Chains A and B, each alone.
Chain A
Amino acid sequence: MKDILSGNEAIARGAWEAGVRFAAAYPGTPSTEILENIRGYEDIESQWSPNEKVATEVALGASIAGARSLAVMKHVGVNVAADPLFTASYTGVNGGFVMITADDPAMHSSQNEQDNRNYARFAKVPLLEPSDSQEAKDMLKLAFELSEEFDTPVLFRTTTRISHSKTMVELGERAALEPLTVLEKDVPKYTMLPGFARAKHPKVEQRILDLAQRAETLDVNRIEMGDPAVGIVASGVVYQYAREAFPGASFLKLGMTYPLPQGMVEKFRSKVDRLYVVEELDPFLEERIRLMGVKVDGGKSVFPITGELDPGLVARLLTAAGAPGADGDLLTEPGPGAEGLPMRPPTLCPGCSHRGVFTVLSRLKVFVSGDIGCYTLGAMPPFGAMHSCVCMGASIGMAHGISKVTDAQGQIKNQTVAVIGDSTFFHSGITGLMDTIWNRGASTTIILDNRTTAMTGGQETPGTGKTLSGEPAAEVDIPRLVEALGVKRIAYMDPYDLTETEEVIRRELEAPEPSVIIARAPCVLQFKIMNDPWTVDSELCNGCKRCLRVGCVALSLIEGEGEEDTLVEIDPVQCNGCGVCAQMCRFGAILPPVPVEA
């Protein structure tokens, strides 16, 4: 049976077919749908973890207990999970253990563009890279086989264009598994005291040499001979781009990109006139190939080190470098587009509970130490009310550092406030707050508790009282947790009430001790909260545009009756009736919905 699956759906299917028993993840674009789809396979125990480090540790535990297990994350998640990964490389596995890293070249939804292929070399583990959904499914099985045969974690890398592209997949089945009933103990293997770890390191080095030998005969690495004038080395989606751009060329198609099959590379070099390495981001393959002493005629000298490639770019850049045989259809430079069009960036939804908070923060001109979530959009116009955002959980520690070295002299604009969402707070904000309290900080933290992981599509958190599969679970009590960390001042505010929000934030900023403000209001998108639309009284509206400062797409300026007369209109389809814009109006021109009489 065939179906059209995204790379993420295919990975989930591949996990099921490969006999995976356990999978854990923290959501992050473009990886999120992998666990959401694995959830549908009842014979895999799957869970969200509070962060990627924990996801990796629980998956490693399941592996040591004998289960094939999977840890899934976006590229920056591997930074968080690097600690267990690097030493899991020493312990090795029992049941196969695979870590999936979904990289995001071009940063469609990320804060950096790191190339996680480098982690394979750094952690000394093998790396597989599928080039479409069929390969994603098939290569995941290979990843588990290699993991068990070579006693190693395996890094499995997709990019956004693999995770979120849909191609056709032939579906297979899952073999029945015996229950795991015996827990075997092996102190030198799994207990990385220095003495045991010293014995492991040479084995890790030998393992990479052995894997390089195996790479010579794996069928995911193959030479596809065409015209010998042009030889292209590629992997992942870039292989597909290059195939499209140079349909007649010769290819060294790599499915395992670390360690590389040196014999195969040398053989390919000997068969082609010119050798090009086509890859996105870092010269990962190119550097390894050059280190073999193999001549490369073009790599990063031809292709950019930033952003994504596409078939047209591969065709044009390699042609300019002197490679013959590009598909003529792809060589035409596209005509000019329309200029000066307004951008359409993502924006806070109408009715979003973050809108009021950022309207007030923008007004207060305080330095906002931000974090990662929908609320990062508070940095965008018209708010411009987020002044730093680095990584998950950074807001609180950074605010503490800022306030430690600044004398605000009582001025709010010289003060800092940390803003963090509930899921991000659980991920890695708690330790930052612990640091603030322990080290006698005085900064204020706002926790935007919208009861979900909103930006990635509404996943459960440790605070929602439900697991990934929807089962009831214990619910983290944020106020009691914060209190246990030593916070004496805990305040609450209704983020839809601008007056209250401003009063509470001002009061807590002025307090000479650390405080936490909790704004608890559920995500309107995730919980499908719909309120009746508000309306504008055109007699009362004088077009002052003050309401537009709330940055809501339901509002727009229209022509009034008189000349040069503009006024605001509310789109009844988009308006979600939160009333925040009405609180900005000084003329009472924005009116609540009239209740329908019974």
Chain B
Amino acid sequence: MTENGTTTNILISGVGGQGVLLASYVLGQAAMKEGYEVKQSEVHGMSQRGGSVVSHLRFGERLASPIVTQGTADFLLSFEPLEALRFFNWLRPGALLIYNTLRVNPSTVAAGLATYPDGIHERIAQAWPNSRGIDATLLAEEAGTAKATNIVMLGSIARELPFPLETWRHIIGRVVPPKTVDTNMKAFELGRAAGR
């Protein structure tokens, strides 16, 4: 939170195609339902083509900028370990980093032109002690589909945010395809349990 304690800054990072933007949308809708002002910013256009994707989400009583300033994020939610390591310094001191432990190779690594960092979980823990890795994709598969990884990630941060459980359920139920509501509710619960 900022000095006056009224604004929450969340950064969500991941890889194009992982559902970062939908997760950000759910957070924004939940914050609006709880009566906060919401601002959100993301860059898309090339996001479906496997590049890094970042979404900025801010909510509070009164906001101006739609983007989070580096060094002031209260939470970083990363859908991939390398994208956690790339953005941890957007957090303010002591803030919380939650990341999905499943590695997704960048194209540079796939082409043999770069190597994926060794011991990435240790590097993240060293760089940002207040971090938690969760196997969100495995939990999503347990819920029914790996596609629900983004909903598991939302579950993992749910306890940290001032939104009641029914708000989360209401918004998720509204944005996911009707046939997948049960799977996504389960994914959310598994994420919530893992986020402790």
What is A's interface to B at a CB cutoff of 8 Å? 2, 4, 29-30, 32, 108-109, 132, 160-161, 164-168, 237, 240-241, 243-244, 247, 310-312, 315, 327-330, 332-338, 340-349, 374, 377, 380-382, 455-457, 525, 545, 548-549, 551-557, 571, 573
- Main SS of the interface on chain A? loop
Question: Is B112 an interface position by the 8 A CB rule?
Answer: yes
Known interface pairs A164-B42, A342-B106. Does A347 touch B50 (Cβ–Cβ under 8 Å)?
yes
Selected contact of A557 from candidates B106, B107, B112, CB within 8 Å: B112
Determine if A334 and B90 form an interchain contact, defined as CB atoms under 8 angstroms apart: yes
Determine if A334 and B70 form an interchain contact, defined as CB atoms under 8 angstroms apart: yes
Which of B60-68, B151-159, B161-169, B175-183 lies at the interface?
A: B60-68
- Output the least CB separation between B42 and chain A (Å): 6
Known interface pairs A310-B69, A341-B82. Does A556 touch B109 (Cβ–Cβ under 8 Å)?
yes
Q: With CB as the reference atom, state the residue of chain B lying closest to A167.
A: B39
Determine if B110 and A344 form an interchain contact, defined as CB atoms under 8 angstroms apart: no
Taken together as a complex, chains A and B put the C-alpha atoms of A342 and B114 apart, in Å, by 6
Taken together as a complex, chains A and B put the C-alpha atoms of A334 and B72 apart, in Å, by 8
What is B's interface to A at a CB cutoff of 8 Å? 2-3, 15-16, 28-29, 32, 37-52, 63-67, 69-72, 82-83, 85-90, 104-117, 123, 127, 146
Taken together as a complex, chains A and B put the C-alpha atoms of A30 and B15 apart, in Å, by 19
9 extra interface residue pairs, beta carbon distance < 8 Å, beyond A240-B64, A342-B106, A344-B107: A4-B32, A165-B41, A241-B64, A330-B72, A336-B89, A338-B127, A346-B50, A555-B110, A557-B112
Q: With CB as the reference atom, state the residue of chain B lying closest to A344.
A: B106
Which residues of chain B have C-beta atoms less than 8 A from A337's C-beta?
86-89
Selected contact of A382 from candidates B50, B104, B113, CB within 8 Å: B113
Taken together as a complex, chains A and B put the C-alpha atoms of A13 and B146 apart, in Å, by 35
Which residues of chain B have C-beta atoms less than 8 A from A30's C-beta?
45
Taken together as a complex, chains A and B put the C-alpha atoms of A168 and B36 apart, in Å, by 10
Selected contact of B108 from candidates A243, A345, A348, A455, CB within 8 Å: A345
Known interface pairs A29-B45, A161-B41, A455-B46. Does A344 touch B67 (Cβ–Cβ under 8 Å)?
no
Q: With CB as the reference atom, state the residue of chain A lying closest to B86.
A: A341
Taken together as a complex, chains A and B put the C-alpha atoms of A525 and B87 apart, in Å, by 28
Selected contact of A160 from candidates B43, B82, B83, CB within 8 Å: B43
- Output the least CB separation between A320 and chain B (Å): 16
- Output the least CB separation between B162 and chain A (Å): 18
- Output the least CB separation between A100 and chain B (Å): 16
Taken together as a complex, chains A and B put the C-alpha atoms of A587 and B67 apart, in Å, by 51
Determine if A344 and B108 form an interchain contact, defined as CB atoms under 8 angstroms apart: yes
Determine if B72 and A344 form an interchain contact, defined as CB atoms under 8 angstroms apart: no
Which residues of chain B have C-beta atoms less than 8 A from A241's C-beta?
64-65, 67
Q: Which 3 A-B pairs have the closest CB atoms?
A: A29-B45, A334-B71, A347-B107
Which residues of chain A have C-beta atoms less than 8 A from B70's C-beta?
310, 312, 334
Determine if B51 and A345 form an interchain contact, defined as CB atoms under 8 angstroms apart: yes
Can you list 10 contacts pairing A with B, beta carbon distance less than 8 Å? Answer: A164-B42, A165-B41, A166-B41, A240-B65, A241-B64, A311-B67, A332-B72, A342-B106, A343-B108, A549-B111
Determine if A347 and B40 form an interchain contact, defined as CB atoms under 8 angstroms apart: no
Determine if A381 and B72 form an interchain contact, defined as CB atoms under 8 angstroms apart: no
Q: With CB as the reference atom, state the residue of chain B lying closest to A526.
A: B48
- Output the least CB separation between B76 and chain A (Å): 12
Determine if B65 and A166 form an interchain contact, defined as CB atoms under 8 angstroms apart: no
Known interface pairs A108-B43, A342-B82, A346-B46. Does A310 touch B66 (Cβ–Cβ under 8 Å)?
no
Taken together as a complex, chains A and B put the C-alpha atoms of A338 and B105 apart, in Å, by 17
- Output the least CB separation between B151 and chain A (Å): 18
Q: With CB as the reference atom, state the residue of chain B lying closest to A352.
A: B49
Q: With CB as the reference atom, state the residue of chain B lying closest to A315.
A: B69
Which residues of chain A have C-beta atoms less than 8 A from B63's C-beta?
244
Q: With CB as the reference atom, state the residue of chain A lying closest to B70.
A: A334
Known interface pairs A109-B45, A382-B113. Does A166 touch B40 (Cβ–Cβ under 8 Å)?
yes
Selected contact of B49 from candidates A315, A346, A555, CB within 8 Å: A346
- Output the least CB separation between A3 and chain B (Å): 8
Taken together as a complex, chains A and B put the C-alpha atoms of A150 and B107 apart, in Å, by 53
